[in-house]
Structure 1
Amino acid sequence: MIDIRMRDRRAVGPVALVAAAALALAGCQGGDEGTKPEQKPTPVATASAAGSPTPTPTSTPAPTTSPTPTVATLRDQAGGTVGRAVTAARGRGLHYAVYLQGTGASLHGGGRRATSWGTGEKVCRQIDDPTDVNSTFDVAFVIARDGRDCAGRLLHTPTPTPVTTPSRNSTGGGGSGTGGTTTTCAITSPAGNCYADGQFCATRHHGLSTYGKGGEYLTCERDSAGVWRWSDGRAG
């Protein structure tokens, strides 16, 4: 610290004294206290991956599904005999059923079961159930109804039975004659004629049968196009 008292007050002006005093004060502050170390800001603690581990998300297990039951399949027996088809089903350990054609048999139910059948009867179609949709069978065989083929047509034309209706004697005298008129058609057209194979049939005759012009046995049923016609059960 500079001692201004050692100087001649007379030789030093007031301005010099003020400047000297200011330097002395600045020097004391710098020399006595020294340079303070730079204070760094206190770091704010942050969560890190190491300090605070992120929880691992748990995965939801996939739903388990029951395995689809698999049933042994059988080679298609359609066109063969029902006897061989049944034997083949038994050999594979399959539960089988026999249904009648044209009664609505399907994989999802319906149809009418055959109460009996001949081993030589033809299998019209086969219904397989490899995924166990129907609980009553693993395989079903459909056979034709009695007297019909797989398309529902008659297998044969029955022999016509003549029908004799008595007629009155028109020769006079009021007596009744013993003669009669023989006819083979119980159902006739509006004109009084017997029907022929292939002719259209009326709604009231659906499912009925009669004899035709030539003595053939006709049934009023749908043809392949769904039209109701008189049919003798033979193709063509």
Structure 2
Amino acid sequence: ADADGAKAAAASAPVTPTPAPSSAAPSPRTSSPAPAPTTTPAPTPTVATLRDHTGSGIGKALAAATKAGLHPAVYLQGTGLSLDGGGRRASSWATGEEVCDQIDDPGDVNASFDVAFSIPRAGRDCAGRLLHTPAPTKTAKPSGGGSSGGGASGGGTEECEITSPAGNCYADGQFCAARHHGLSTHGRGGEYLTCEQDAAGRWRWSDGVAG
């Protein structure tokens, strides 16, 4: 009878269900999105700049540019030199000619040069003014004595500081050589002439009087 009572008690006791093992995978943890990669802009190419050589000789300025590994260019003053491509190139120069202006191109804007120098145009200074030599002092030329029938010949006070290759004095309006640009001399008639450009741009000896 006790055995039967024990079975009855066991049958009437509440049954606690055993949880079945879960087969589902654990849910992933929520994380913040990764930051987008940042791109570094490519550096703009730059060219080294040269110290200012304005006022020094063009030969010294060109040597400094070459030593610094720069590509230089020489232009004529007053012809519109700029990074945008203006200006007229100089065809020749003396090493001692003065540098009127210097333009650096560190941003490589102009493909023609890294640094550009301007020098005076022939017969002019950096301000564009004509070069004039001081008025020379005339000295009397000894008169040639004629022994017969004659007297002196050749005029007695004519003195020319600059003469033609043939040894003659120049006259107003004659063409003058490139080496005489901006220079002055007395002419064959005693007038004071300067080698300067006429209205057409040609270099002639002129006394400054029109006509």
- Tell me the TM-score normalised to structure 1 length: 0.45
Specify the structure having the higher radius of gyration (Cα). 1
Query: Which TM-score applies when normalising by structure 2?
Result: 0.50
